[in-house]
Structure 1
């Protein structure tokens, strides 16, 4: 009786050294860092100028000899920037809520109902997105003047919600269309009505699309300038973008106050976008796969 010994496989040689990175990967990473630096340098210059003392504004050096926080303190004490920030928060938040309350039922009806004129409705929604607020400013100003609604927060809320409504409807329609109809039918068999299905089934599943519509509407209303400048003439009722513009005079520009106010204006939007960026990406790709 013979026995056969099974030969054991030779041990793999131990890996020594670090993993080699392909030259293409290094080139892409270097190009990405270079591109990021190009976009971040203006913001860095803005922060540095805001921290530069007034007597060093004309110095040639990139960094100041002394850093001063006085511009951030004085910009609140000596201007209406605090009230402008409150107006911007009300306008951005109110227009976002109003646009979402109108866009969500409209998108659900468009995605689930095959009614006559559906394509025409979507086409009209797309056409309204092509309108620029500047082309309608004269008519809007005359209308709100006759209604005695100039220098009102509600005026800016209505205008910003109207100009961002089309984008919200398109995003939500694409996302709701990707949700299986069978989930809604099962919920209706359990006794839920249309509103119940929309609130308990569709809305939780469509949350990435909702977040995308919220962030884009909020940022658009936050950064709006032309309508705020035209429809608000009282400095206390103007949004933050218009209030910052007051630091630009006819003969002088208060650069440290201007950049300090700009830093205050961009920080909330940057923080908000960083917190929900992953939802924005998933919402933008909604409906791309079947």
Structure 2
């Protein structure tokens, strides 16, 4: 097998794999562009008989999508900021200091990552009731930050550990303090890991559904993930709006991923090579 044929074969397999993963999105797009009568009364072929592009504009008036989108952005952005504010000092201290119980702390961080929000949703709801935080954005921000904090501490610990201490010591000789060395030396070098933590937290908080469904009651406090299924209920079936909203919900994540994609590979492998 010559090199050119092997390259063409691998490219063909890659395109097939990409097509396999893209097919659900193609189906979503085609369904979002079909007229309602074609979805509920007289199902037609795979392609729409009439391309209903107005579904993507009508959906904004059919439901408070703009409000739900704003809630999702606030919750995902707030959870990301809170998680990063807590994970940075914890990961940096664990990476630079050999304190008693350090191994147990890192093991606990890893173990807490195994708990799924679904298994803890009843306890989370009771805690929010006790704190009088039900049906608030603060509750969603706190819960999402708590569930994403272990992964961020773990990935940032690996990134900080990969940065040589000599770089910080050189900064100390130049008059920088511990905080100055962190922000001027360590963080810029560990940028791929920080970006990975930010993207992971944002996407996880953006896609969270179970806790938001349990804690949120008012329509103007529900994120987009909870608003999407409301188009198909016992009393109504608007499949075209459901898929149109689902595609709208994907756009911010795709944009974020496209902007930081070059940093992700370096962040995910941070600390693996010394």
TM-score by length of 2: 0.95
Find the counterpart in structure 2 of residue 60 from structure 1: 44
| Structure 2 residue 176 is matched with structure 1 residue 176 | no
Equivalent residue in structure 1 for 2:14, among 11, 32, 42: 32
| Structure 2 residue 64 is matched with structure 1 residue 84 | no
Q: Distance in 1 between matches of 2:79 and 2:198?
A: 10
- Unpaired segments of 5 or more residues in structure 2? none
Residue 252 of structure 1, CA deviation: 4.5
Where do residues 159-198 of structure 1 align in structure 2 (5 Å cutoff)?
Answer: 159-198=143-182
Find the counterpart in structure 1 of residue 28 from structure 2: 46
Q: 139-148 vs 85-94, which deviates more?
A: 139-148
TM-score by length of 1: 0.90
Find the counterpart in structure 1 of residue 131 from structure 2: 147
Please say which structure displays the higher CA radius of gyration.
Answer: 1
Q: Distance in 2 between matches of 1:251 and 1:74?
A: 19
Find the counterpart in structure 2 of residue 9 from structure 1: none
Find the counterpart in structure 2 of residue 213 from structure 1: 197
Tell me the C-alpha RMSD between the 2 structures.
Answer: 1.3
Where do residues 210-289 of structure 1 align in structure 2 (5 Å cutoff)?
Answer: 210-250=194-234, 252-289=236-273
Residue 255 of structure 1, CA deviation: 0.8
Find the counterpart in structure 2 of residue 5 from structure 1: none
Q: Distance in 2 between matches of 1:223 and 1:253?
A: 23
Q: Distance in 2 between matches of 1:251 and 1:191?
A: 68
SS at match of 1:276: helix
Equivalent residue in structure 1 for 2:184, among 200, 209, 220: 200
Q: 167-176 vs 24-33, which deviates more?
A: 24-33
Residue 70 of structure 1, CA deviation: 2.1
Equivalent residue in structure 1 for 2:140, among 136, 148, 156: 156
Per-residue CA distance 1:176-217 (angstroms, 9 max, x = gap): 111111110011112211111111111111111100000000
Find the counterpart in structure 1 of residue 4 from structure 2: 22
Where do residues 54-133 of structure 1 align in structure 2 (5 Å cutoff)?
Answer: 54-57=36-39, 58-133=42-117
Residue 85 of structure 1, CA deviation: 0.6
Per-residue CA distance 1:1-24 (angstroms, 9 max, x = gap): xxxxxxxxxxxxxxxxxxx75332
Per-residue CA distance 1:225-275 (angstroms, 9 max, x = gap): 000000101121111000001012125531100001001000110111112
SS at match of 1:64: coil
SS at match of 2:234: coil
Q: Which has the higher helix share?
A: 2
- Unpaired segments of 5 or more residues in structure 1? 1-19
